[in-house]
Amino acid sequence: MATKMEDVVTEKGIEKFRAAVTDSVSIMVKALSIFAGKYSHIAVYTCAAHTLHLIIGDITKLKSAEDTVDTCTCIVKEINKSQILKASFTELQKEGGQICYLKIPVPTRWGSILRCLIRLLKLKNILERLVSNEETNLSRRLRNSVLDDDTFWRYVQKHHELIHPAVTLIFLLESEKAKVSSVPQCFKELNDHFKSAFQEAF
C-alpha cells in the first residue's frame, strides 16, 4: 500500500503534496508510517471520522450497550412486522396529533442507532400504553422491557447520551464544512464528555 501511495505522488509530482490521509485500519497506518519515512515534508494523518467510527464501535460492544440496542431492535421489529400492533401504535400516536415511525437500527450505521434511540425515547409513553393493553400480542420479554423504567429506559437514555456527541461529530467531520483545525477541539470536547459520562456511570 505504501508503494501505491508512492506511485501516486511520484506520478502527480511530489512537490504538489503536503499531507496524506487514510483510515485507521492497521495496514493503512503501517503504510503511512513507511510513506512518512521516505517523504518527511509530507504530513500524515489518520481519518478523524473513521477513528470516531471505531470508538463508537467499541462502545457498542459493551455488554450493556449491546443488550440495549438488541432489545430496541426487537421492539421495533416486533411492532413493524405485525399489522395489528403497527395499526394500534399509529392510532395511539394520532390521539396526540403526531405520527413518528420506528426505524430498525443498522449495525455500524451509528446514525441509524441514534435515531432509533431518539424515537423510542420520544414515543416512550405511547409504547407503554400499547404494551399495557393485555390484548396486545407482544412477547413477555419485550413487554417487561418497555414497562421497566429502572433498567431498560435508563440504559436507552444513557446510551443515547453517550453516543450522541460522537455521532454528531462524525457527521460534521464527514461534511464539506469540516476543517482540519477543528479536529483537536472536537476530540478534546469528546474526551471530556466520555470522562464525565463514565464517572457518572461508576
Please give the grid coordinates belonging to residue 167: 455521532
pLDDT for the residue 192: 93
Residue type, 185: Q
Residue 45 phi/psi, 5° resolution? -140, 150
Cα dist from 10 to 13, 16, 30, 136, whole Å:
5, 10, 20, 67
Please give the grid coordinates belonging to residue 141: 420479554
Average pLDDT over residues 34-58: 85
Q: Is the pTM of this model over 0.75?
A: yes
Q: What percent of the chain has pLDDT over 70?
A: 99
Report the chain's mean pLDDT, rounded to a whole number. Answer: 86
Average pLDDT over residues 91-119: 88
Q: Where are the beta strands (DSSP E) in 14-132?
A: 19-22, 43-46
List pLDDT tens digits, range 109-133.
899 999 999 999 999 999 988 888 7
pLDDT for the residue 112: 93
List pLDDT tens digits, range 73-92.
999 998 898 888 888 889 98
List pLDDT tens digits, range 156-173.
999 999 999 999 999 988
Domain ranges of the chain: 2-46, 54-201
3-state class (DSSP) for residue 44: strand
pLDDT at 201 over 80: no
pLDDT band for position 95 (cuts 50, 70, 90) = confident
Q: How many CB atoms lie within 10 A of CB 47?
A: 17
